[in-house]
Amino acid sequence: MMVDMVDPQKGDTICDPAAGTSGFLVTAGEYIHDNHPDWFHDRDFRRHFDTEMFTGIEFDATMLRIGAMNLQLHGIENPRLLARDSLSEANADIRDEFTLILANPPFKGSLDYESVESSLLQMCKTKKTELLFLALMLRMLRVGGRAAVIVPDGVLFGSSNAHKAIRQEIVDHHKLDAVISMPSGVFKPYAGVSTAVLFFTKTGSGGTDHVWFYDMEADGYSLDDRRNPVETNDIPDIVHRWKHRESEMDRKRTEKSFMVPYDEIKSNGWDLSINRYKEIEYEEVEYDPPQKIIEEIRRLDEERNKNLNVLEKLIQYGEIK
């Protein structure tokens, strides 16, 4: 879904700063093969695809080896895989380099200030990895570059100075494009935390006009530990509406998706939780007057007593044992 929405382009340089087994990079490569096979007729693009287009950063050596194998098995011959901690000084040299970032960074991690690259702390002074990774992505992107990143729900509404600072940085100084709220079961059985996907573009000069919100309720699988396939799936609708979001301006706040203007987000302390803006439509339910309900209860009691008397007589005369 995320790769479909960002629509990788021919000249993109794509990075996952928390690459793991390189699933995002593989999916981006498959997207290009499936949607733009003609690009591979160009020798320069083939060289770009095999050597420069994909960068993964991962500090776990085992994950890095699995990621390298995964990429090669999917036709990406010489990806750039860096064995380093993305948030540390060892990664400080990567700035303004990528046009597209796709990531699912670690949640609920905590680092000492001394181990974090200094420019990240200047943007967002915190020990929380989910916030530091957002600052990192803004540093790594070129102006005009875009990002799609999975974050825990707390990033959207956390009240600490660091939470507010990184949300304001993205909304006020760059361009926040979309917030997709996901149900809590999408990462089961591994984690039950509620998450969302942020889509933003690095501008350095603002640009957020309206932010598109979508309240995903189903992803095609059950939301329990089994994650069995089910019919209900919002993802096709999300991708379709994203690609035609100019028609979303007039959608009501009671719908699954709608637009929220910049000024409203600012006035709400840069809160990005969908519940802050979504409106619930209550249906009026009319009940019978109390006296009529009481009469119905009495009628049911009389009918029940008659049935009990009949049952008792049947037992008494031996017709039921």
203 shares its domain with 129:
yes
| 32 part of a folded domain | no
| pLDDT single digits (tens) 183-238 | 999 999 888 889 999 999 999 999 999 999 999 999 999 999 999 999 999 999 99
Beta pairing partners, 180: 197, 214
| 253 part of a folded domain | yes
Q: Please state, as a whole number, how many other Cβ atoms lie within 10 Å of the Cβ of residue 162.
A: 18
- Quote the pLDDT of residue 319: 66
How many helices (H) and strands (E) are present in the chain, helices listed first?
Answer: 11, 11
Residue 240 pLDDT greater than 80, yes or no: yes
Q: Which of 56-65, 168-177, 310-319 has the lowest mean pLDDT?
A: 310-319
C-alpha triplet 90, 117, 181: angle, nearest 5°: 110
Q: What would the mean pLDDT of 163-176 be, rounded to a whole number? A: 97
Question: What is the domain range of residue 303?
Answer: 287-321
113 shares its domain with 221:
yes
- Quote the pLDDT of residue 114: 81
Q: What letter would DSSP give residue 11?
A: T
Instruction: Tell me the whole-structure pTM to 2 decimals.
Output: 0.86
Q: Which of 90-104, 243-257, 284-298 has the lowest mean pLDDT?
A: 284-298
- Into how many domains does the chain fold? 2
Residue 9 pLDDT greater than 80, yes or no: yes
| 36 part of a folded domain | no
Residue 254 pLDDT greater than 80, yes or no: yes
166 shares its domain with 294:
no
Q: Please state, as a whole number, how many other Cβ atoms lie within 10 Å of the Cβ of residue 300.
A: 10
Residue 282 pLDDT greater than 80, yes or no: no
